[in-house]
Amino acid sequence: MSTHILKLNCPDAVGLLARITGFIAASGGNLLDVSQYTDTASKWFFARLAFTGGRIEIAPETFRAEAEKLAIEMNADWTLRPANRPVRTVILVSKEGHCLADLLWRWRSRELNIEIPAVISNHDSARSLVEREGIAFEKIDFTTDKPDAFSKLSSRLRELGAEFVILARFMQILPNSICREFAGRVINIHHSFLPAFVGANPYRRAFERGVKLIGATCHYATEDLDEGPIIEQEVSRVEHYHEPEDLVRLGRDCERLALARGVRYHVEDRVLVHGNRAIVFRD
């Protein structure tokens, strides 16, 4: 029997969780894991339910239609996915390959349940790293005509059927059109503990400010640079004797960890976004 994940959010009301769990129980399903949160300030309800068996196995279309009916009554945004189906993921990268290498390792060892139809870059540096894994590597030139490059990029994302896009140190600012088209499906790793050091050269600025902690932030890309909902953050202690290049080195480990966790939470349907806040049912 396979596990399904029902994820939904809607305006809060009395008895919502009872209705949803009752619906699954009535279908013969067995709940494996339930996470629920109500934002009392905005009166919004969030839930993620992992369950198995019953009607979803025998008559999946019927189950889905009934779930839709319930969701409409609750005025809910919802998704229902088999937990074991890999998420189709395109990775974008520039020259720095540490996040990419880490993601590839976690993909190869099945720690991340994704499939990668292609890695796209504005440089050739990562080509061999990608191709030796049997993954297609595509280069798009961003130096001559940037709008055209972005247009090619969004076409390729569509053609590749990208459900999910990871900016694994992709040093180009996405145009609003892409942010909108792939809203909630693009995550970025920023090399500072946001909102500190928004923008360029965060490690250099961290050094100059003399901070005792550096960090990395995994967040959804939105039209406002480095302002999207935060999924995960990681920090590392630094000392006065760490030069900017040491911060870069130490920061790489923060970036890798924060990105890998953020990707994992996203592909396991653990993240629900409301306004600018990300509800993350961590595991």
Q: Which stretch binds its own copies (CB under 8 A): 33-41, 73-81, 139-147, 165-173?
A: 33-41
The reply to whether 283 belongs to the active site is no
**Is 11 in contact with 75 (CB distance < 8 Å)?**
yes
Toward its own copies, which CB reaches closer, 45 or 150?
45
Number of Cβ within 10 Å of residue 151's Cβ equals: 15
42 touching its own copies, by CB under 8 A: no
**Is 205 in contact with 193 (CB distance < 8 Å)?**
no
Peptide bond into 82 cis (omega under 30): no
Radius of gyration of the chain (CA): 20
Nearest to 66 by CA among 6, 2, 1: 6
Q: Which stretch binds its own copies (CB under 8 A): 119-127, 147-155, 157-165, 244-252?
A: 244-252
Toward its own copies, which CB reaches closer, 161 or 199?
199
Q: Which stretch binds its own copies (CB under 8 A): 83-91, 101-109, 147-155, 180-188?
A: 101-109
* Strands 114-121 vs 87-93: parallel, antiparallel or unpaired: parallel
Question: Which 3 state secondary structure label does DSSP give 195?
Answer: coil
Toward its own copies, which CB reaches closer, 36 or 172?
36
| Residues across the chain | 283
- CA atoms of 127 and 131, how far apart (whole Å): 6
How far, CA to CA in Å, does 75 sit from each of 177, 239, 278?
27, 51, 20
How far, CA to CA in Å, does 179 sit from each of 187, 198, 217, 224, 235?
10, 18, 18, 9, 27
235 touching its own copies, by CB under 8 A: yes
278 touching its own copies, by CB under 8 A: yes
**Candidate list 55, 169, 190, 242; residue touching its own copies; CB under 8 A:** 242
Determine which one of 39, 145, 226, 253 is catalytic. Answer: 226
Site string (133-172) toward its own copies, x via CB under 8 A: ----------------------------------------
Q: Which stretch binds its own copies (CB under 8 A): 71-79, 138-146, 158-166, 229-237?
A: 229-237
The footprint of its own copies (CB under 8 A) covers 14-19, 21-22, 24-25, 28, 30-34, 36-38, 40-41, 97-98, 101-102, 105, 109, 111, 132, 193-197, 208-213, 215, 229-233, 235, 239-243, 246, 249, 252-253, 257, 276-280, 282-283
